[in-house]
Amino acid sequence: MAAVATSEARRAELVELFNTVSSCTACSLSETRTKVVFGSGNADAELMFVGEAPGFHEDQQGLPFVGAAGKLLESLLGEIGLSREDVFIGNVLKCRPPGNRDPQADEIEACQSHLFRQIELIQPRVVATLGNFATKLLSGSPTGITRVHGCEQSVRLGNSEVLLYPIYHPAAALYTRAMLSVLEEDFARLPQLLGREPAPTTSETAPVVPVATPVATEYETQLDLF
Ligand code: SF4
């Protein structure tokens, strides 16, 4: 499919994709979900995050990263001078696996075209994969996140050439200080990968503190920021 030229056209196609995905029944997760979680954020984002799958709160609200991991993600973004409004956040799966179990291969196979199309339409410069599932899918390699986190690589996804940047899932750092430090270090390289000025050193900014309680989302609908 040819690349869509203008921001307005890409935005319109993203809304069309949102409508398509909202009624998707391509895998059995459609039978147990409460809401499809398409993803939310800036349709022209230079930086896109791809997590694993919606959890309980995401499934209830239809929005990605609205629980404790989302709060930590927002804090980490703040550390590098960005906010949720600057980025687009989505997942490999758009529907919650029951009991938050791991995504299954057939579910990833059924859902991956939605993600690839999102990347094609948003055209981010950097795609940060959060954890193993997103990293393995978008890198096309079985190498796990422990070995590849913090190592960017150029990949072609559909019609888009992007810089893939694997990092740990924020949920992994919620209760482990050592993991949080690794995540902070990997986040600190994002401005450079985006071609921006480096973020201030952490000594000049407030420390990121893991927050283990769910937070309310300010977003009313997934289309707020399109
Ligand atoms: Fe469709 Fe993906 Fe939801 Fe499965 S997880 S029903 S493929 S949107």
Determine the atom of ligand 1 nearest the C-alpha atom of 33: 3
| Residue 94 is assigned to a structural domain of this protein | yes
Strand-by-strand arrangement of the 88-91 sheet: 40-41, 88-91, 47-51, 126-130, 160-167, 153-157
The model's confidence at residue 175, banded by pLDDT at 50, 70 and 90, is confident
Mean pLDDT of the chain: 87
Please compute the mean of the pLDDT values over residues 174-187 and round it to a whole number: 93
pLDDT per residue over 183-223, tens digit each? 999 999 999 999 976 555 544 444 443 333 323 333 334 44
Residue 36 Cβ < 6 Å to ligand 1? yes
| Residue 225 is assigned to a structural domain of this protein | no
pLDDT per residue over 116-128, tens digit each? 999 999 999 999 9
- For residue 4 the two structure tokens come to 């869509």
State the Cα–Cα distance between residues 210 and 173, nearest whole angstrom.
7
Highest mean pLDDT among 86-100, 151-165, 200-214: 86-100
**Residue from 30, 109, 115 whose mutation best tests the ligand 1 pocket (most atoms within 8 A of CB):** 30
CATH number of 161's domain: 3.40.470.10
| Residue 207 is assigned to a structural domain of this protein | no
Question: Is residue 5 pLDDT above 90, yes or no?
Answer: no
**Residue from 29, 50, 115 whose mutation best tests the ligand 1 pocket (most atoms within 8 A of CB):** 29
Three-state SS for 126? Answer: strand
Residue 21 Cβ < 6 Å to ligand 1? yes
| Residue 226 is assigned to a structural domain of this protein | no
The confidence score (pLDDT) of residue 158 equals 78
Per-residue H/E/C for 34-83: CCCCCCEECCCCCEEEEECCCCHHHHHHCCCCCCHHHHHHHHHHHHCCCC
Percentage of the residues of the chain whose pLDDT score is greater than 70: 85
- Domain enclosing residue 117, as ranges: 7-194
| Residue 209 is assigned to a structural domain of this protein | no
| Residue 2 is assigned to a structural domain of this protein | no
Q: Does residue 100 contact residue 55 with C-beta atoms inside 8 Å?
A: yes
| Residue 188 is assigned to a structural domain of this protein | yes
pTM value is 0.87
| Residue 74 is assigned to a structural domain of this protein | yes
Q: How far is CA 77 from CA 71, 74, 150, 159, 190, in A?
A: 10, 5, 16, 27, 9
CA 153 from centroid of its chain's CA atoms: 17
Number of domains the chain is built from: 1
Look at 87-96, 129-138, 188-197, 205-214 and tell me which has the smallest mean pLDDT.
205-214
Q: Does residue 152 contact residue 165 with C-beta atoms inside 8 Å?
A: yes
